[in-house]
Amino acid sequence: MSYLDKLKIIEEIVKTPLFSVVGFTLDKIIYVSTIEGRRSLWLVDIENKERVKIADDISSVSNIVEGSPYIMYSKDVTKGKEQHKAFIFSIDDFENFEVNAITPRRITSMCFDGENFALSSSTERTLDLWLVKPDATAERLYEANKLFFAVDIEKDKIVGQGILKGNPRSQELFIFDINTSEFDVYTPKEGSTNKNPKIHDGLVLFATTAFGKEKLVLMNMRNWELQEPKMSYDDYKGVEFSEYINFDWDLSGKIWFIAVRNGRTKIFYDGKLIDLPEGFVNNFVPAGDKHFVTWSSLTSPHKILVIDSKSGEVKTFLGEELPAETKNRLGKSKFITYKSFDELEIPTFVIESEKISKPGPTIIYVHGGPWASVNDSWNRMIAVLVASGYHVVAPNFRGSTGYGDEFRKLDIGDPGGGDLMDVVYAAKWAKENNLASKIAIMGYSYGGYMTYLATVLEPDIWDAGVAGAGITDWEELYDLSDALFKQFINLLFAGRKELLVERSAKSYTENLKVPLCIIHPQNDSRTPLKPVLKYVLNLLELGKTFELHVIPNMGHLVVKVEDAVRILFPATIFLNKILK
């Protein structure tokens, strides 16, 4: 394959526009799309199909309240350093207003009840909570040096979640009273994990592990009493799933939820199953006699599907398929598990390339997070690797989400320990099952961290490594981090400061044996470039084989089509040279 052919595959995959639905109001669907090569916010009128662009290069969007013309969104104003400004758009007059009182900072969440917005953010020093009015005035309500995010607002109450009792293995809810400025911490049971509180008429719907496996419950804010959510249908009873991906109320108080098992979702509205193709749904928007969802799979990019609530008929509302030739290169994904060093079963997606034989060159793809997962949902990096002629094995190593909270918590106090061994055992699985000839490890962010560490702690397993936006030195990362990421590191390491050195590739650089391809955004404020440059200097002095690609005008998040090409093109050229 020529360089031109490689570039063409990458371009076709990353240029296929992605669509995700945000909400519904005033006969309009609000959505995010990459149709112009950047993340833009749009609206489309359901009746006349007229589309209007609201804003370019957006970072995040608040929920939409049916009947309200207001939408809040954030934009990074620092070329990827994730210092955001908040804006409010009004559908009534098609104008954007900047929230001037909130100076640039890392905005972590935004929510809306139709009257007011709540916003949480992080600065260098603290995390804070703001109230924003539709006229774009804002007031800071609360500030603390602990990990918390606003999730929902109703009248004088803001609810959210965080690590609020100092226990890294539990997560509590908070209820902030706007009138009294009281910040109450709530948990149904000490040590349980509680998430995603959504208010409707003084009732808080949330997911909790207080009674065993994750479960949806209601809490009455007037008396703190718990009750079971009521649904009209009980299709979900007896259906096995591990976690809730998302849930909320509709305007009339009916509950919908998206549940996941083995990397695929099922969605229930008022307890009734909504039939969709196999894959993964991120969001659900009820809109009268239609429902809208964001759907994708490992071989099909994110699109918005519309479902007729009466007939159940599913159609594409906004979305594009890959060009047929590229789609054919992707083949089929399959879900497997293998046993790790301690017999723990590791849920994994395997995608065999249609274009090469078995055994063939294989990539162990390590996802970021670490509290995230590879699902049967669209992943540009995996798609490019498979289409370029590599088998891909993507393990959901311990600590991954989607397999229950006990599994998720297994990396707390042990990052780069058991999870790294799970990744090593993925490589063993690929060899033993006759899938892999040569093997590279590749990942971005936490996956880049694992790549650095795996290539020095287990140097004989791999033929090459590709580390994107990775971590080489947790100690220096900690010093360079803002309040949010300092808290994040404390949480992940469960306060075990000694591990910051022990679990950093920097401590073992001389062990490196295989060529390393290093790709790093210049403006990354989550995993800064500086410690990586020091690592590179050390590699240079030790005479190791490496290549370094610094991507200017880009931060940690891959937001532009151009950014994705600038990461994936050097990676595939490198892999081709070493593995083929």
Q: What residues line the site for ligand 4NP (CB under 6 A)?
A: 368-369, 445-446, 477, 481, 485, 488-489, 526-527
Taking CA 181 as the corner, what is the angle to CA 178 and CA 185, rounded to the nearest 5 degrees?
A: 100
Edge-to-edge strands of the sheet including 290-297? 280-287, 290-297, 300-308, 314-318
> How many angstroms from the chain centroid is the CA of residue 133?
28
Strands of the 148-154 sheet, one edge to the other: 148-154, 157-162, 172-177, 183-186
Among the listed residues 84, 200, 367, 556, the single catalytic one is 556
Query: C-alpha angle with apex 195: 189 to 201, nearest 5 degrees?
Result: 95
b/e map of 441-472 (b: 16 or more CB within 10 Å)? bbbbbbbbbbbbbbbbbbeebbbbbbbbbbbb
The smaller minimum CB distance to ligand 4NP, of residues 268 and 446, is found at 446
CA–CA separation, 453 and 546 (whole Å):
15
Token pair of 461 as six digits: 């397993």
**What is the closest distance, in whole angstroms, from the C-beta atom of residue 50 to ligand 4NP in the complex?**
37
Minimum distance of ligand 4NP from residue 348's CB (angstroms): 18
**Strand partners of residue 138:** 132
- Please indicate whether residue 556 is annotated as part of the active site: yes
User: Which residue, judged by CB position, is nearest to ligand 4NP in the bound state?
Assistant: 368
Active site annotation includes 76? no
d(CA 132, CA 115): 9
302 is catalytic: no
Nearer to ligand 4NP, 85 or 526 (CB): 526
Closest contact distance (angstroms) between CB of 480 and ligand 4NP is 9
The distance of closest approach from Cβ of residue 445 to ligand 4NP in the complex, given in angstroms and rounded to an integer, is: 3
Q: Which of 128, 405, 419, 524 is catalytic?
A: 524
Closest distance to ligand 4NP from the beta carbon of 434 (Å): 31
Convert 347-357 to b/e letters by CB count within 10 Å (16 or more is b): bbbbbbbebbe
Q: Which of 44, 75, 73 is nearest to 57 (CA)?
A: 75
Q: Which of 445, 481, 504, 525 is catalytic?
A: 445
Q: Distance (Å, rounded) from C-alpha 271 to C-alpha 233?
A: 4
- Closer Cβ to ligand 4NP, 389 or 443, answer by number: 443
Quote the least distance from Cβ 526 to ligand 4NP, whole Å: 4
Question: Which of 485, 546 has the CB closer to ligand 4NP?
Answer: 485
Q: Residues 4-12: contacts with CB within 8 Å, 24+ apart?
A: 6/388, 6/569, 6/572, 6/573, 6/576, 7/565, 7/569, 9/326, 9/329, 9/384, 9/387, 9/388, 10/384, 10/388, 10/564, 10/565, 10/568, 10/569, 10/572, 11/565, 12/322, 12/323, 12/326
Q: What are phi and psi of 10, to 5 degrees?
A: -60, -45
Smaller CB separation from ligand 4NP, 170 or 527:
527
Count the Cβ atoms, other than its own, within 10 Å of residue 166: 9
CB nearer to ligand 4NP: pick between 206 and 446: 446
Q: Where are the alpha helices (H) located in 234-378, listed in sequence order? A: 324-330
Question: Minimum CB separation from ligand 4NP for residue 370, in Å?
Answer: 7
- In the numeric block, which tokens belong to residue 82? 């994730």
Distance of closest approach, residue 129 Cβ to ligand 4NP, in angstroms: 22
Smaller CB distance to ligand 4NP: residue 391 or 526? 526
Q: What are phi and psi of 453, to 5 degrees?
A: -70, -40
Name which of 286 and 555 has its Cβ closer to ligand 4NP. 555
**Beta-bridge mates of residue 329:** none
Q: List the catalytic residues.
A: 445, 524, 556
